[in-house]
Amino acid sequence: MAMLQRFFDLERLETAVSREIVAGLTTFLAMAYIAFVNPSILAAAGIDQGAAFVATCLAAAIGSLIMGLAANYPIALAPGMGLNAYFAYTVVKGLGYTWQVGLGAVFLSGCLFLPALVYIACLMARGLAELDWDDATDYAPAVLTALAMPLTFSIATGIGFGFVSYTAIKALSGRQRDLNAAVVVVSALVVLKWAVM
């Protein structure tokens, strides 16, 4: 127990091994359905259900272990539901491709998009480093944008939220002179889009 407390720095995080075990079991029970649902969806595409079950379990175990042991972050990772249905029912059954061709396309798209994602992450990190962290009106919109993206499951919505929050925070704090006209126009368009939808 003492080794786990030291390794995960539980005392500084104001938690205990027993609490983390309960949290881990709760998370496991909440996401265990994936081990059964994902293979049944992929079986509709012709993939062996037993192989899909093993792959789903291994992907969840390896991803969660890396997140916990390397990043020391209490988030479980597993194959996502939704794209598997798109893969099985649209790509394979609807468009008529074999599941091997479909998985090949998934692999190639991952290879193509990974460098772009790394580049975007580097640009975002550089932008965060240039923020004035002593001025809440400067860093709050960036933090709100970073939070909005995963919470809304949309990069575009997160960026739109960033424009709106930046404009609102600057205007409400009396720093309208810091605002660029283009930023105000984009913010107004985003709010208009949200109002119409």
Interval 164-189: pLDDT, tens: 888 998 888 888 888 888 888 888 89
Residue finishing a domain among 71, 100, 130 = 130
What mean pLDDT, rounded, does the chain reach? 85
At residue 75, the pLDDT reads 83
On whether both 153 and 74 belong to a single domain, the answer is no
On whether both 51 and 92 belong to a single domain, the answer is yes
Is it the case that residue 54 has pLDDT exceeding 90? yes
Expressed as residue numbers, the domain containing 177 is 133-197
pTM of the model: 0.59
At residue 69, the pLDDT reads 85
In single-letter form, the type of residue at position 100 comes to: Q
Give the mean model confidence (pLDDT) for residues 84-93: 92
On whether both 111 and 88 belong to a single domain, the answer is yes
**DSSP alpha helix (H) spans, the chain:** 2-7, 17-31, 34-43, 49-65, 83-85, 99-129, 136-152, 155-172, 181-196
